[in-house]
Amino acid sequence: MTTSKIVLVTGAGSGLGRAITLALVAAGHHVVATGRRTAALADTAAATAWPGAVTALPVDVTDPESVDTLFGQITDRWGRLDVLVNNAGIFGPTLPVEEVSVADWRRVVDTNLTGAFLCAQAAFRLMKDQRPRGGRIINNGSISAHVPRPHTVAYAASKHAVTGLTKALALEGRAHDIAVGQIDIGNAATDLTAGIAAGALQADGTVAPEPTMSAADVARFVVQTVELPLSANVPFLTVMATGMPYLGRG
C-alpha cells in the first residue's frame, strides 16, 4: 500500500505539470500545485477526480521572496515536504544565437535554472530539518540536456546546466537522506511542443514533422519515482517518443 506523500509540483498550471499532478493525485498523493497563473492552477485542481487533493499556491519561481513565501506556507500547513518536482520551464525564442536578446536569455535561464535552484535550495532546508528527515527532488531536464535543437541556445544551455545542478544536489543530498534525480523528456505532447508534430527545424536545415507521446505516459514514470523508498534513486531517466530523431540528431 502506497503511503500518501506531500508533493510540490512547479509549473502545474498546464502541460506536463498538469499531467504529473493528475497522475500523483490518482495515485493517492497530495499535490501542492504551483505556478504564476492562479486560474490555470484552479483548472488543474478541477481536472482531478479529487480536487481536495490539490492545494493551489501561486508562485514566481524566479523570485526568491516568492519561493520563500511558498515554502513558509508548506511548512506552516504540513510541517514537511516529501517530494519536489522541479517542472517549471519555458522554451524561449527560436532564433540564431546572434539574434537572441540578453533579456530573453535571462528570462529562460532565470526560469529553467535559477527557479529550479531556488526551489531545491528551499526544499533542502526543509527536508534536512523535518522528522523523519529527507525527501526527494526530481528535476525536469530535457532531451536538450544532452543534444540541442537548432536555434535554441538559451534553452539548451539552461537544460545542460540543470544536469549539473542535479549532480551537485544529489551529491550534497546523500548526507541528509535527500535523493535527487532528473527526468529527460523528449516530445511529450503539450502546448510547448505543439508545433513539433507539424514540422520542426532539423540540424541539416530541413523542417520535418516529429512524433510525440502522451504527457500522461511521462507522468507515470514520475509517480513511480515518487513512490521509491529513499534508499533508492534514479539519477537520470530518459523518456521520449519512440520515433523522435534523438539518437541521430545532429
Concerning whether 246 is annotated as a catalytic residue, the answer is: no
Average of per-residue pLDDT values in the chain: 94
The answer for residues whose C-beta is within 8 angstroms of residue 5's C-beta and 6 or more apart is 29, 30, 82, 83, 226, 227
- pLDDT range class, residue 249, cuts 50, 70, 90: low
pLDDT for the residue 174:
97
Q: Which of 30, 39, 40, 37 is nearest to 7 (CA)?
A: 30
Distance between CA atoms of 17 and 9, rounded to whole angstroms?
7
Lowest mean pLDDT among 48-52, 89-93, 121-125, 131-135: 48-52
pLDDT for the residue 84:
98
Full set of structural domains in the chain with CATH: 6-240 (3.40.50.720)
pLDDT for the residue 105:
98
Arithmetic mean of pLDDT, 16-26? 97
148/82: higher pLDDT:
82
Q: Which residue out of 71, 117, 124, 155 is catalytically annotated?
A: 155
Report pLDDT digits (tens) over 128-162: 999 999 999 999 999 999 999 999 999 999 999 99
232, burial (CB in 10 Å: exposed 0-12, middle 13-18, buried 19+) = exposed
Q: Tell whether the model's pLDDT for residue 31 goes beyond 80.
A: yes
Lowest mean pLDDT among 29-33, 51-55, 197-201: 197-201
pLDDT for the residue 29:
97
Rounded to two decimals, the pTM is: 0.94
Q: Tell whether the model's pLDDT for residue 99 goes beyond 80.
A: yes
Instruction: Provide the b/e sequence for 167-180 (b: ≥16 CB within 10 Å).
Output: eebbeebeeeebbb
Alpha carbon distances (Å) from 9 to 34, 43, 198, 204, 248:
6, 15, 29, 37, 32
